[in-house]
Structure 1
Amino acid sequence: MKEIYEKLGLFYLGKDVDKETMEPVEALTLLKNKNFTTHAAIIGMTGSGKTGLGVGIIEEAAIDNIPSIIIDPKGDMGDLCLSDPSFSVKTFEPWVRDEALSKEADPAEYAQKIATMWKEGIQSFGQDVSRVERFHAVPKTIYTPGSSAGVAINIMSSLEAPPAQIMEESDSFTAYLKSTTTSLLSLIGITADPLDSKEYILLTQIITQAWLSKEDLGIETIIGRILKPPFKKIGVLLLDDYYPQETRFKLATKFNALLASPSFSLWLQGDDLDIQKLLYDENGKAKIAIFSIAHLNDDERMFFVTLFLNKYIAWMRRQSGTSTLKTLLYMDEIFGYFPPTKNPPSKEPMLLMLKQARAFGVGVVLSTQNPVDLDYKGLSNIGTWFIGRLQTTQDIERVIDGLGGKIGSRFEKGEIKTLLANLKKRTFFLKSAHLDDIRLFTTRWVLSYLKGPLKRDEIAALMERQKAGQEIQKQSFERLGRKNDTLGSFQNVNASIPQYYEPDPSGQNIFIPTLAAKAKVHFFNQSRGIDEERECMLSLELDAKQQQISWEEAREEEVDFTRLPHIAPKNAQYYDLPKMILEDKGLKYAIRELKAYLYQEEGLDLYRCRSPKLESRPGESRSDFIVRVQDLLQQKKEEEIEKLKTRYASKEKVLQERLLRAQERVAKESSDSTSSMIDMGIAVLGALFGKTSPTKIGRTISKGGRILKERGEMSRAEERVAKVQDDIDTLNDELEEKIEKLSEKYDIGNCEVETFKIKPRRTDIDVERCAVVWRVS
């Protein structure tokens, strides 16, 4: 029965609590991971144990190969990086040093004490070292936007045009545009009203026009377009009448001051904000990405959260629909980002996430101290509530109606009110649309060491290795040695050969020759529904002694021919062109060689898996394809489990009835017998059917059995209970064996991913432009 809940896709959250004694019982508190697609909220005052519960949920997801992205305004969630399966003193010592010194204890001795306590705590909840190892192996990264403490993330490199799925829906596009614009303005201290703010209206016009042209924007581009907008009117009013040049200059100056700020440069460095890469590694394995934003001011936090949510929505809308839990988005301390009355930039994308994410297998988990922090429209989209101790009467009253009053519930409203004000730390009510009744439980001991908020230097130490591998390489055009080349002021080039000139800001105008080309390669495969076009832009440096054109030595480099002058500057000097280029009228030979090269080298790389039978889409990376295969396997596995559920339901019912009759018989023979046996349920079946949690059946029955044996009153009732126990064990063993086979059958490790390539036809290669481009030496 060991850890069978993981094979069933269940999150192990803790143990049920007896409401009379307020002590944990043997029954495990389990929740299907797919239930989190209807989202969850964690509510409780400071010290209630919200962080521990949140960390536990993320750990469960990671063990089930479900990735998570965490927005961490306080800095607590970085504790997920503090795990060690060996529980060594050397590992724990840096984590506990400050606490040890504050207690005037020796750091090494204190680390030994804490490591032992943590190991024993984990084991006390039935978790062994192998579980810690599985979680520890999941890659975890702490990103610190706008800071060099953690891994750098380039949040501002471009304001990418949203995907077609958002552009095609008017409401989604409007919400996306509004939140992007308001967050940008908030970054320069402007709280914009969408109805009458001239800054907002101007910026939305600029961004809309760019996005409709499928153009990505950067801050530099926005500044230029504020000064010189690509339109003459706003509505029916002339631009200069509505928003004069002088006023626009002031707005542009604010963005320019932001861009010029040394601290802001940190927003422009590091990894791109690619959601898929944040979630999965190259082999499709889950990762945990933690965005620690405690160091940012309020405006910067709002800007980051809003822009990030928009990026996440853009990624989400490109995914295929699924009923399984694909990923978690966790936000700690939601206060201020999703309020019931105000409308900060982050509110609209968050509400959109809660409304739409379920269809894409995305679960949102929000944590807050007060229920009044959450917008009432969002509450109706949250299916699971974890509620810990609440301090104020207002907070308690707000959640009473949601928790109590259900017919048949074990908890009355008055009872809930009393409990909420007196719950122990780490004890929560669990109310879920997927459960028959309210549960009271205590959270399990987490696998990560809960140190508290991480300091800047602690984040830096934890991320040192990942930061070292994040060197940003500046690419430069490698120049050929030209010691023996002639530098002259004239080039006798045939008029049929197009020429362009790279501007030289220095005015020296010393040029080297390159051959640049823009081509389009079309890939078509009717049976696979493939009709794709790829643009290739190549630049090849030329040497006077070259005898042939070697396009394989060219580098990919975007050349915008429309923006390059085609008239030579005055007083220019040139290195010699090779003779073969001078004699190649219209560059026909160069174009022919380029087509031959592209035919040989270009291909549409695709991936396929024969079982399950699936092929990648054009442009889909190997990692993305593996993730899609995993999603399909998980879905098939869940379908098989549902079939098991149907098959075993009648058997489970019969055993429950037998168990009840046997217990009643024992009760007749012994007035001192307890009801412990009926509480035990059926371990795996109960969790599978959503009725109760796996319990240690043998222990409970043995306890009842010992009581009755001591009194000599078991007789035939003992035999009946033992028979039911054997039947339960047999049924559980049988079910566990079937689940084990399903886990093996649908294991991604058994799927071989092959690579194959679709080649273009020669007639599907079109060289749109090939020219000599004179580059600055």
Structure 2
Amino acid sequence: MQEIDSPGRFYLGRDYDLAAGAVGATPLLYQTENLTTHAVCVGMTGSGKTGLCISLLEEAALAGIPAIAIDPKGDLGNLLLAFPDLLPSDFQPWVDPSVASRKGITVEELAQQAAELWKSGLAKWNEDGARIQRFTDTVDRAIYTPGSSAGLPLTVLKSFAAPPQAVLDDADALNDRIQGAASGLLALLGVTADPVTSREHILLSNVLGQAWREGRSLDLAGLIHELQQPPFKRVGVVDLDSFFPAKDRLEFGMRLNNLLASPSFASWLEGESLDVQGLLYTKENKPRLSIISIAHLTDAERMFFVTILLNEVIAWMRSQPGTGSLRAILYMDEVFGFFPPTANPPAKRPMLTLLKQARAYGLGCVLATQNPVDLDYKGLSNAGTWFLGRLQTERDKARVIEGLEGASAEAGATFNRKAMEATLAALDSRVFLMNNVHASGPKVFQTRWALSYLAGPLTRSQISTLMAARKTSAMQSAATSQAPGSSSPSREPVGSTPAQQRRAPESTSAKSRPVLSAEVTQRFWPLDESVKPAGGERLTYRPGLFAVGRLHFIRASDGIDVWRDFAALQPVHGDMPQPTWETAQVMGERSTLLDEPEPSAAFSDLPGDMAVERNYRRWDDDLKNHVYQSQRLTLWECVEFDARSQPDESAEAFRQRLLPEVIKRVEQEVDEAESAANETRWWLFGFMSQAIVRGAEIILVRIFGGRSRKQLVTQSLWTQMSKDRQKHAAAKSHLREKQRDLDRLTKLTAPPVDPLDADAEPLHELKLTKIEVPPRKGDIEVQPVSLVWLPWWIGDDGAARTAY
């Protein structure tokens, strides 16, 4: 093994004699564990800063140490231009044709020159194609392009995921994460927001904070909705609507929604979700060199992405066990603007956190810039290693000296200001001063030859060429996972009616929840757990209108005075029905609605009218008119037995309830009639006995002569007896009539001869009269109409069936 490949050391170059202007023979081998205290690389254009940093990343790769490299200029893509065979054909696609034209040679000849230059350059530094081969074999290299499909797409907008438990348990770390995410998102909107005074920042921070503390992750659509209708009613001690009125929250949410809906922003929603562990290691645990190119982004987009990425790195870092060894590298080229001395852009806070805390977790941060005056050197006092190249102005040198002094004081090392100033003034191209607080003193060295071909900043088309095979492989893998047999086959929905199955296919244009004003109340109909999805069906919410109220039915002449609750549901699919409540379901019971949708559910398109808050007030009045015209209190009356049903009692229920009461009443009447018949019979028997005695007396009187007064009395008895006979006959007739009624009613309780013959139901012989009472219009009460989302199962073919 050569000395340059010593374990635990990075081969960065050779010692350099400033006085003689000559390169020495002693390799500069940098201890890898020294990088856990971080490094800063400063040098003007042409100083060789990019070559040094690329060499450092190459050495880390050779040592099996993964790295995430943030590339604002496009230079770091050169790390994929490593050609172990050093053939001209390898270099030809990457040489500049304009250079060949200026030199008056062909592109092939220029490629030949580049191959020879690289071969001889590597040889002078004891390197060769075999070392390049080990570099390419050891790490997986990839270029990511967030917000673009040139490289591997990478999105941070699919989910503002809740941080790991280690961060949730650390109040300071969680607060930093919340502040960074809020600041980054607002920067993306072009809003310069102070965390203390900006109401947008405060609201956004509170929404994110509450969701994350509850363990909930939010995608951008979910975040927009929680901004409209936050899960809290107060901000500090101030009422939410006083602090940030609903109208202003709608405008704020619409700005985010416009960003989400912008065609130019669509690429931000594509690609892999940001996963630091995945950027550092493959699934097979092979170390990775993940280059994240942000050269194509605007300043606001860069700030947003870098802020989110740094926060994700912090979250990953806190989930790792502590170590004194170098576990991974986070490199950022051209850090200008992200770590200024006075301002506090969103990325600065997480970067400071990393510089202060990453050492304990074995994460080394390397920051590079050609603008020394734009760095916060007080913050960089945490950096233990400084690589200083040629500087342009005295002001740059003064700021670098200031930073070196701070770093040395922080580490307790001595610092010779005059010697350092003299050394900096003498530096040439590719010559650097390394000030390492872990070493005995500063060292001057010349950077080694890079293993990778330094073609300069790569264009998006060049990045696309480099990543074409990788993207094709990813697409083939995705296609394989979706091939026939890899998922459940689609089939006809079960349990749906033909009408439901033939509905128009569900729109695929609106799958996320629409953004609405917080003044539009939204609720969610509970899912019927008994209705299971068939293969390929997806839960989708369709809109509807829902309201509850009370109706007053009164009719003094019939003694009716009833209040009744109701709930009205009007499903909406496509255009709004006209009139609005024409096909509404009016129910007697109020359903318990939910405040949140089912996770991962999609949403159908919302008619434009339903997005306007003032329309809901109009629909209140429309509902009053609808229930006045359509609702009636129905009563049933049995004239034969002088009985009336209870409110909302059905005819059958009334009959069932009425029959035992009527039977009992007729039984009492039969008993009374029987008593009356018995009583008239005994009276009749009494009079008949008296009449017989008197009749005998009259006969005796006639035989023996004379006229008796008793004869007159007897005539009167016969007259009374005749009357009692008539009464008795009437009583017996009345008893027979009541007995017939009782027999008929008793038969009504018996089952029909043929149970399948509905017309044979004897109970229907109780004739009922229907009474309908309209509600009093002036007493109708309707609570505010709300937007209700109704769950449906939607198949791949667009067939739909209710899930409620």
- Which interval holds the TM-score relative to the shorter structure? 0.5 to 0.7
The one-letter code matched in structure 2 to 1:374 is L
By how many angstroms is 1:375 displaced? 1.6
SS in structure 2 of the partner of residue 442 of structure 1: strand
Partner of 1:19: 18
By how many angstroms is 1:100 displaced? 2.1
By how many angstroms is 1:52 displaced? 0.3
Partner of 1:246: 247
Matched, 1:223 2:227: no
**Residue 332 to residue 556, structure 1, CA distance change in 2 (3 Å):** farther
By how many angstroms is 1:421 displaced? 2.6
- 2: CA distance, partners of 1:414 / 1:187: 44
SS in structure 1 of the partner of residue 378 of structure 2: helix
Matched, 1:436 2:440: yes
Partner of 1:466: 470
By how many angstroms is 1:22 displaced? 2.1
By how many angstroms is 1:283 displaced? 2.5
Q: Is the 8 A contact 1:70 1:330 kept in 2?
A: yes
**Residue 507 to residue 410, structure 1, CA distance change in 2 (3 Å):** closer
Partner of 1:709: none
Query: 1:204-246: per-residue Cα shift (whole Å, max 9, x none)?
Result: 1111111111111111111112222222221222211121111
- 1: CA distance, partners of 2:378 / 2:168: 24
Partner of 2:459: 455
Q: Is the 8 A contact 2:539 2:792 kept in 1?
A: no
Matched, 1:281 2:285: no
**Residue 397 to residue 482, structure 1, CA distance change in 2 (3 Å):** closer
Task: Map 1:103-118; keep pairs closer than 5 Å.
Answer: 103-118=103-118
Partner of 2:327: 326
By how many angstroms is 1:419 displaced? 3.5
Partner of 1:41: 40
By how many angstroms is 1:506 displaced? 6.2
Partner of 1:427: 431
By how many angstroms is 1:373 displaced? 2.5
By how many angstroms is 1:398 displaced? 3.1
**Residue 402 to residue 147, structure 1, CA distance change in 2 (3 Å):** closer
**Residue 402 to residue 375, structure 1, CA distance change in 2 (3 Å):** closer
TM-score (norm 1): 0.62
By how many angstroms is 1:559 displaced? 11
By how many angstroms is 1:282 displaced? 2.4
- 2: CA distance, partners of 1:328 / 1:502: 56
TM-score (norm 2): 0.60
Q: Is the 8 A contact 2:13 2:447 kept in 1?
A: yes
Task: Map 1:612-651; keep pairs closer than 5 Å.
Answer: none
Q: Is the 8 A contact 2:18 2:427 kept in 1?
A: no
SS in structure 2 of the partner of residue 240 of structure 1: helix
**Residue 22 to residue 165, structure 1, CA distance change in 2 (3 Å):** same
SS in structure 2 of the partner of residue 248 of structure 1: helix
Partner of 1:78: 77
**Residue 487 to residue 325, structure 1, CA distance change in 2 (3 Å):** closer
Partner of 1:92: 91
SS in structure 1 of the partner of residue 250 of structure 2: helix
State the number of aligned residues.
Answer: 522
Instruction: Choose 372-381 or 269-278, whichever is displaced more.
Output: 372-381
Q: Which runs of 5+ in 1 are unaligned?
A: 491-500, 509-536, 543-553, 573-771
**Residue 503 to residue 139, structure 1, CA distance change in 2 (3 Å):** farther
Partner of 1:766: none
Query: 1:172-231: per-residue Cα shift (whole Å, max 9, x none)?
Result: 111111111011111111111111111111111111111111111111111112222222
Partner of 2:365: 364
Partner of 2:5: 6
Task: Map 1:528-539; keep pairs closer than 5 Å.
Answer: none
Partner of 1:345: 346
Task: Map 1:736-775; keep pairs closer than 5 Å.
Answer: none
By how many angstroms is 1:399 displaced? 3.3
Query: 1:67-126: per-residue Cα shift (whole Å, max 9, x none)?
Result: 110001111111111110111111100110433234332000110111011011011101
By how many angstroms is 1:389 displaced? 0.8
**Residue 773 to residue 337, structure 1, CA distance change in 2 (3 Å):** closer
Matched, 1:290 2:294: no
- 2: CA distance, partners of 1:507 / 1:432: 64
Q: Is the 8 A contact 1:155 1:267 kept in 2?
A: yes
The one-letter code matched in structure 1 to 2:292 is F
Q: Is the 8 A contact 1:47 1:425 kept in 2?
A: yes
Task: Map 1:186-201; keep pairs closer than 5 Å.
Answer: 186-201=187-202
SS in structure 1 of the partner of residue 29 of structure 2: strand
- 2: CA distance, partners of 1:414 / 1:355: 29
SS in structure 2 of the partner of residue 449 of structure 1: coil
Task: Map 1:164-175; keep pairs closer than 5 Å.
Answer: 164-175=165-176
Matched residues, percent identical? 44
- 2: CA distance, partners of 1:412 / 1:237: 56
Matched, 1:233 2:234: yes
**Residue 117 to residue 363, structure 1, CA distance change in 2 (3 Å):** same
- 2: CA distance, partners of 1:144 / 1:449: 21
Partner of 1:258: 259
Partner of 2:752: none
The one-letter code matched in structure 2 to 1:134 is R
**Residue 313 to residue 123, structure 1, CA distance change in 2 (3 Å):** same
By how many angstroms is 1:556 displaced? 12
By how many angstroms is 1:277 displaced? 1.2
SS in structure 1 of the partner of residue 382 of structure 2: coil
Matched, 1:129 2:129: yes
Partner of 2:164: 163
Q: Is the 8 A contact 2:539 2:794 kept in 1?
A: no
By how many angstroms is 1:775 displaced? 5.3
- 2: CA distance, partners of 1:286 / 1:556: 40
The one-letter code matched in structure 2 to 1:339 is P
Partner of 2:51: 52
- 1: CA distance, partners of 2:422 / 2:533: 79
Task: Map 1:498-517; keep pairs closer than 5 Å.
Answer: none
**Residue 541 to residue 254, structure 1, CA distance change in 2 (3 Å):** closer
**Residue 243 to residue 337, structure 1, CA distance change in 2 (3 Å):** same
SS in structure 1 of the partner of residue 353 of structure 2: helix
The one-letter code matched in structure 2 to 1:353 is L
**Residue 503 to residue 372, structure 1, CA distance change in 2 (3 Å):** farther
- 2: CA distance, partners of 1:95 / 1:507: 49
**Residue 538 to residue 401, structure 1, CA distance change in 2 (3 Å):** farther
Query: 1:417-460: per-residue Cα shift (whole Å, max 9, x none)?
Result: 24323311100001101110110000000100111111111111
Q: Is the 8 A contact 1:410 1:438 kept in 2?
A: no
The one-letter code matched in structure 2 to 1:424 is D
Q: Is the 8 A contact 1:37 1:358 kept in 2?
A: yes
**Residue 538 to residue 105, structure 1, CA distance change in 2 (3 Å):** farther
**Residue 505 to residue 215, structure 1, CA distance change in 2 (3 Å):** farther
Task: Map 1:553-702; keep pairs closer than 5 Å.
Answer: none
Matched, 1:139 2:143: no
**Residue 398 to residue 539, structure 1, CA distance change in 2 (3 Å):** farther
By how many angstroms is 1:370 displaced? 3.2
Q: Is the 8 A contact 2:69 2:332 kept in 1?
A: yes
The one-letter code matched in structure 2 to 1:164 is Q
Q: Is the 8 A contact 2:355 2:380 kept in 1?
A: no
Instruction: Choose 41-50 or 136-145, whichever is displaced more.
Output: 136-145
SS in structure 2 of the partner of residue 47 of structure 1: coil
Q: Which runs of 5+ in 2 are unaligned?
A: 508-528, 547-567, 574-790, 800-804
Q: Is the 8 A contact 1:72 1:291 kept in 2?
A: yes
- 2: CA distance, partners of 1:315 / 1:539: 41
By how many angstroms is 1:413 displaced? 4.4
